[in-house]
Structure 1
Amino acid sequence: MDNPEIIEFAVSFISSITNDLNESLYSQPTANLNVIWKRDDSFNARAIPKSRITEPPVHIIELTYGLVIQLYNDIDEYCSYIENKSDQKTFDILFKDHSGDTSILPCHLEPEDYRKNMYIGALTWVYFHELAHLNQEHVYILNKFIDTKHHSMYEEFNVNKSEPLKDKEAAIHHVLELAADFEAIQSCLRELIRHFEGDELTKSIGLFVSSISCAIYKLHNPTELSLSSDIEGSHPPSIVRLEQILPQIWESLDLYEKANIIDTKLNRKDLVHICDRSATSACFFWFRKKQITTEKMRNFIFVGTINRPGGKLYLQTIIKTWDVIKPEIVKNSRMLDELNTLNFTETLRDLVLEC
């Protein structure tokens, strides 16, 4: 697709989701969800609340043309990379113990179709991530827990670049990003389950993981990966976000399978393998595209945040910060769903908080 086609497709798709939400979750009198498109080349998105938390929600999601164009073009390049089998020998070695079909792209779809399916997955994740900021009233949380300034919106990629956030303010921003990721992933999985079943769902899981991995890796800078209890910046490192998302996907789908909500005949090991193949292939794509040096590969491939230098200390601050702000989020969320709320397992807490 060329740029006008990409924009037309994205606007139409996002409008259909927004219309559905306005007829359901925003159906109260005076409530409204609106999407504003910015004619801007930047890769950016914003969540803007226009109502008090005591009023029916009036929310705006702002997306740039640059974001939706770059999302599609990255996916198109990724698919071409896989189709050209540039690193197929490496993948054969890495995935030799994986069960079942180890193809990364589905053979039953035309290239244009799986590109569009991946694009839909990436758009949906970005949209639901912004919606999660609004649903969980993250701007209200920032203003309640941070006294330094008044926040009127939640901006994704251009926050305070000249003055990186530090200490408590940075920790709160990081944990809110992880909370928005968590809700967005749960919403996306529900959409996959609503549209697909059986073998079609199995193939869609892999495409979805590839699509969000492409989007996340785009923003990752392995040369600046440094984790500690002293958190800086407005967002977690992209690889850290992916390392929280992947287990969430395979654990959630495993629970759905065991509860007979889905019928893919996949066990947890199968789901881990699907996520591994999809995310690793996106990792290698961006590794080549960004021309990362081999000594930085460990900072680029997912190994689990807890296994990284300083990872336990970083997660310790994240968990403690979440425990402080979670009651306010639960109290003020517009559409409270326990399954959508960020959760750290007791096993992870024990591993992290013991250090």
Structure 2
Amino acid sequence: MDNRYDKGKLARDAQENQYFDVPWIKDLAEIIVADLVKWSNDEIYTSLGGRLECELPFDEAVNASAIVSPSNAANPRIEIFMGLVREIYRDSFTFPLLANQISNSPDYGDPLKSEFSNTPAFFEGGVPDIPESQYTEIYKSIKNRIEEEGVYSDIPENALACRFLMFEVMLTWVFFHELSHLVQRHYLFRSGTATSNNFEVVYHEVSSDEPIGEDCLASQAREVLADVEGSELTIRYLLRKKRFHFSSIYLLFCAQYCMFNRFYKAHESNLKLVKGDHPHPVIRNEMTSQFVSEWLVLCLGNMEGAVERDQIIRSVAYLNVKSSLISGVFWGNRYEKMDGSLTSFMKLSTGEYVQERDEYYALLKRSMLEQLKTIKRHHMHKHNFTDFMGHIAFLS
């Protein structure tokens, strides 16, 4: 990690931790996770004669894992450490207020307004209005208590609704990322491990077991495939919960951008091919947001009463670009030395580095296409993201 981070800002996390009720946060997370596990078992594992379990260990590691015995693939386990859940809550807790402060700053000036103000997705401020129909079950369950006890009385109701929606969306995506490692049967690709008792895939930017050469590239390609299917399953979750709305889509983009920035902490300010299981976070973010954008255009275009395709494309582009801008400045203000310029992560996403990104993409895409042949044959979920890959340009 280079010298881009502000030590004082980094130390603020430890101060904030004193005010986080981790057992309460765990209770919130368990409500969400229990529903995700039930769906996974009803949809996938019960018919295979197995059962998925998920645990939230009290561990400081900002980490999650998918654990499976290849000889008993229908009975896997997901672990999402509370260190990661706390960071998800931290981002969700602080983002709505800071996002609005950023958008109200004289330096911001809403650079997207002139081009996108006539799109259905356009909104003023840093976070969209959350209609009551989009309130999460968790927020609805504690809303009355918040009002009665006067807790957070100085925080606008919309900011509170955003907090809980972003928390749910981000945690859901992490869960489905881990589930994707399992249902895509990534253990089939690990040389020398297919007959071992346990195989662990770790969702973290740092891995103690670093593959090399082609194994490194293949492993990174599988991470992107888990990001992609995890995103598709998250969108399906929003549809299932009747929370598929421009506001939740925007917060999904923001949540992913924040998560990839967190992983970027361990990287230098360049786009060299990373040695390890996980690709460069800038690459992961751009490939994931590209897939999500294309899938959203396809999904929205097929919905009853859909607006014109051009308006759909412009709306999704607006949400993607605005989320990157607001989330990038949010992350910089939270952790980096800000001098008014773009953060390192944002710079690496600009046209200045397009050649380096394209070269990285090309390597990953070739490996993804090759491995998709096996994944499609062995996927554990009969209705999965490979069904419509031919309808979008993501890997073309």
Alignment partner, residue 353 of structure 1: none
Where does structure 2 lack aligned partners over 5 or more consecutive residues?
Answer: 1-19, 132-156
Deviations 1:121-160 (A, max 9, x none): 000000000000000011221237x89x997110122654
For these two proteins, the number of residue pairs brought into alignment is 342
Q: CA deviation at 1:349?
A: 6.7
1:25 paired with 2:44, answer yes
| Structure 2 counterpart of 1:44, from 53, 56, 63 | 63
Contact 1:167 1:231 in 2 (8 A): no
| Structure 2 counterpart of 1:63, from 74, 77, 80 | 80
Q: CA deviation at 1:341?
A: 7.1
Q: What does 1:94-243 correspond to in 2, within 5 Å?
A: 94-97=111-114, 98-99=116-117, 100-108=122-130, 110=157, 111-143=159-191, 152-157=199-204, 159-161=206-208, 164-196=210-242, 201-221=245-265, 224-228=268-272, 231-243=274-286
Contact 1:47 1:153 in 2 (8 A): yes
Matched letter for residue 259 of structure 2: A
Q: CA deviation at 1:108?
A: 4.6
Name the CA shift for 1:57/1:178 in 2 (closer, same or farther; >3 Å). same
Matched letter for residue 263 of structure 2: L
Alignment partner, residue 276 of structure 1: 321
Where does structure 1 lack aligned partners over 5 or more consecutive residues?
Answer: 351-355
1:260 paired with 2:307, answer no
RMSD after superposition: 3.2
Alignment partner, residue 5 of structure 2: none
Contact 2:66 2:179 in 1 (8 A): yes
Q: Distance in 1 between matches of 2:43 and 2:336?
A: 46
Q: Distance in 2 between matches of 1:255 and 1:86?
A: 30
Q: Distance in 2 between matches of 1:264 and 1:43?
A: 41
Q: Distance in 2 between matches of 1:305 and 1:240?
A: 14
Contact 1:305 1:312 in 2 (8 A): no
Matched letter for residue 60 of structure 1: R
Q: Distance in 2 between matches of 1:305 and 1:138?
A: 33
Q: CA deviation at 1:322?
A: 2.1
Moved more, 95-104 or 204-213: 95-104
Q: Distance in 1 between matches of 2:94 and 2:178?
A: 25
Q: CA deviation at 1:236?
A: 1.1
Matched letter for residue 264 of structure 2: H
1:291 paired with 2:308, answer no
Alignment partner, residue 7 of structure 2: none
Q: CA deviation at 1:184?
A: 0.7
Q: Distance in 2 between matches of 1:307 and 1:344?
A: 28
Q: Distance in 1 between matches of 2:347 and 2:91?
A: 18
Q: Distance in 2 between matches of 1:120 and 1:37?
A: 15
Q: Distance in 1 between matches of 2:387 and 2:202?
A: 21
Name the CA shift for 1:191/1:238 in 2 (closer, same or farther; >3 Å). same
Contact 1:48 1:60 in 2 (8 A): yes
Name the CA shift for 1:276/1:153 in 2 (closer, same or farther; >3 Å). same
Contact 1:227 1:313 in 2 (8 A): no
Matched letter for residue 3 of structure 1: V
Moved more, 37-46 or 74-83: 74-83
Q: CA deviation at 1:11?
A: 1.1
Matched letter for residue 253 of structure 1: L
Matched letter for residue 287 of structure 1: G
Identity of aligned residues (%): 19
Q: Distance in 1 between matches of 2:296 and 2:394?
A: 19
Q: TM-score, normalised by structure 2?
A: 0.76
Deviations 1:308-350 (A, max 9, x none): 3422322222122223322221221111445347959997778
Q: Distance in 1 between matches of 2:386 and 2:352?
A: 23
